[in-house]
């Protein structure tokens, strides 16, 4: 059974989501050639803590693995979960920043992919289409629709534009835990899956590749890359399902 949130809980989650949105805005201002991913991580953590929240990703455990940073910084062929460090950004790259915050016991989660200086037309299209796929998925996050409606909408936009959606990584429910049920796939069939109800909050997050959808994992156990080396983009919002339609919680 999915955990449905009250109106009060959703407002608390909006505070966590606002902090996520602020961090992504801060990242946009600082991303550029020569900046290290570690510098971006420090800026993000400082902002999250200055707002009375804690970084949701830092110390996050999966089995025996512990994520060491406050953001995921994923460059070019890195799909998700890139670990920040001394790596300097280079003109023409794209970088996906994924960030989470925890405020008063509730979580917010969001991501955007940014250009590093001037980028190719192919990468510009990739960013545009991935954002369009997210918007299409969000448009289906309505009471009475089914989970598969969101998944199918994401897939349709990506594939109609000649790209592929990653199938081995998913979006998720979110609330008092960063990852809750249900899993939100980025491919699917309309009219299938659980019925969406008021109070369900979902992190909808298309991960779209220029090439094929297959991915590989690096030895660090976190970093996920496209199997064919093609570029990948990632956009994400935390979205509450309400009687008035989808309510995006990760906006300024």
What is the rounded distance in angstroms from the CA atom of residue 14 to the CA atom of residue 22? 12
Beta bridge partners of 132: none
What is the rounded distance in angstroms from the CA atom of residue 209 to the CA atom of residue 218? 17
**Spans in the chain with pLDDT lower than 50:** none
Is 144 a member of any domain? yes
CATH of the domain at 244: 3.90.230.10
CA atoms within 13 A on the CB side of 89: 29
Among 137, 97, 135, which Cα is nearest to 115's?
97
Structural domain for 177, as ranges: 7-248
Q: Which strands make up the sheet holding 232-234, listed edge to edge?
A: 164-165, 207-209, 232-234
Largest interatomic CA distance in the chain: 48
Give the pLDDT score at 206.
98
Is 2 a member of any domain? no
Is 180 a member of any domain? yes
What is the rounded distance in angstroms from the CA atom of residue 142 to the CA atom of residue 127? 25
Give the pLDDT score at 3.
95
Is 226 a member of any domain? yes
* Cis, peptide link before residue 249, omega less than 30° from 0: no
Is 175 a member of any domain? yes
Give the pLDDT score at 1.
72
Is 199 a member of any domain? yes
Helix (H) or strand (E) holding 26: helix 7-30
Is 1 a member of any domain? no
Beta bridge partners of 209: 164, 232
Number of domains in the chain: 1
Neighbouring residues of 195: CB distance < 8 A, sequence distance ≥ 6: 144, 145, 146
What is the rounded distance in angstroms from the CA atom of residue 202 to the CA atom of residue 240? 6
Is 160 a member of any domain? yes
What is the rounded distance in angstroms from the CA atom of residue 126 to the CA atom of residue 77? 12
Give the pLDDT score at 120.
98
Neighbouring residues of 159: CB distance < 8 A, sequence distance ≥ 6: 165
CA atoms within 13 A on the CB side of 156: 13
Q: The tokens of 223 are what? A: 């970093």
Give the pLDDT score at 163.
98
């Amino acid at each position: 059974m999915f955990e449905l949130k009250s109106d009060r809980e959703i407002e608390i989650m909006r505070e966590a989501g606002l902090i996520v949105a602020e961090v992504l805005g801060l990242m946009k201002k600082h991303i550029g050639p020569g900046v290290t991913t570690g510098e971006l991580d420090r800026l993000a953590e400082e902002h999250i803590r200055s707002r009375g929240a804690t970084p949701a990703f830092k110390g996050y455990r999966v089995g025996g693995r512990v994520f060491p940073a406050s953001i995921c910084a994923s460059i070019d062929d890195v799909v998700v979960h890139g670990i920040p460090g001394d790596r300097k950004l280079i003109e023409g790259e794209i970088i996906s920043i994924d960030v989470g915050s925890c405020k008063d016991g509730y979580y917010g989660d969001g991501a955007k992919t940014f250009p590093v200086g001037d980028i190719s037309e192919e990468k510009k299209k990739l960013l545009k289409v991935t954002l369009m796929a997210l918007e299409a998925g969000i448009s289906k996050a309505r009471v009475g629709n089914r989970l598969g409606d969101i998944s199918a909408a994401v897939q349709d936009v990506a594939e109609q534009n000649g790209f592929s959606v990653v199938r081995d990584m998913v979006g998720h429910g979110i609330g008092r835990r960063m990852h809750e049920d249900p899993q939100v796939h980025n491919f699917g069939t309309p009219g299938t899956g659980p019925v969406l109800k008021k109070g369900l909050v979902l992190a909808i997050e298309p991960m779209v590749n220029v090439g094929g959808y297959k991915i590989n994992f690096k030895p660090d156990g976190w970093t996920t890359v496209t199997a064919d080396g093609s570029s990948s983009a990632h956009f994400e919002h935390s979205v509450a399902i309400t009687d008035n339609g989808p309510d995006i919680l990760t906006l300024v």
